[in-house]
Amino acid sequence: MVKLVGISGSLRNRSFNTSLLNAASEHLPDGVMLTKGTISGIPLYDGDLEAAEGIPEAVTVLKRQMAEADGVILFTPEYNNSIPGTFKNAIDWVSRPHPEIADVFKGRPFAIAGASPGNFGTLLSQNAWLTVLHTLGADAWSGKRLMVGNAAKVFDADGKITDEAIAKRLADFVAGFAAYVAAKG
């Protein structure tokens, strides 16, 4: 069994990236399990808060999910041509304390997907994540890219994919990443 965790980088309940994550979880290949992680409830990183109170519970839960997974998929929005601050903040927290970075990131396969209302999907956000993943020692999978542009035309009001070509690309993306993760295992 290949165990993946998917994390939507948006806090909105009806975000395109949460919808993409939900769709991925509904069409998994045999032998693949996908747990949904969340960045909800993670405070802004503050070293004083960390020193006084330790790692927040929401961070501990996400960190455990990531550490127990064989691979991680980041479903990233793109804000102002880069990584959303809330998503980067969550990963910053997960990388704390410093000696535990390897437990979560070192050599662990990561894939990046994303949906955006713009024409280019999340190209620039995905590219920005590569530097972060490299710095943390993660294995950024480069087998496929999934950038869903014009997302308002891809999902219905309930967040279901209505574009069959995108649904197929998503299924192929997840299957390709799962096969990569399994081969590394």
Q: What is the pLDDT of residues 73-95, one digit of tens each?
A: 999 999 999 999 999 999 999 99
Predicted confidence (pLDDT) at residue 60 exceeds the cutoff of 90: yes
Predicted confidence (pLDDT) at residue 106 exceeds the cutoff of 90: yes
Instruction: Report how far residue 44's alpha carbon sits from residue 73's, in angstroms, rounded to the nearest whole number.
Output: 22
Q: How confident is the model at residue 185 (pLDDT cuts 50, 70, 90)?
A: confident
Question: For residue 135, what pLDDT is reported?
Answer: 97
Using only C-alpha atoms, the chain has a radius of gyration, in whole angstroms, of 16
This prediction has a pTM of 0.97
Question: For residue 52, what pLDDT is reported?
Answer: 98
Q: What is the mean pLDDT of the chain?
A: 96
Q: In the numeric block, which tokens belong to residue 114? A: 């994303």
Angle between helix axes 164-184 and 16-26 (nearest 10 degrees) is: 70
Predicted confidence (pLDDT) at residue 144 exceeds the cutoff of 90: no
Q: Tell me the domain boundaries of the chain.
A: 2-184
Question: For residue 91, what pLDDT is reported?
Answer: 98
Instruction: Please compute the mean of the pLDDT values over residues 18-30 and round it to a whole number.
Output: 96
CA angle 148–152–157, rounded 5-degree value: 125
Predicted confidence (pLDDT) at residue 11 exceeds the cutoff of 90: yes
Class of the CATH domain delimited by 2-184: alpha beta
Identify the DSSP state of 79: B
Report yes or no: 125 and 77 within 8 Å, Cβ to Cβ: yes
Question: For residue 27, what pLDDT is reported?
Answer: 87
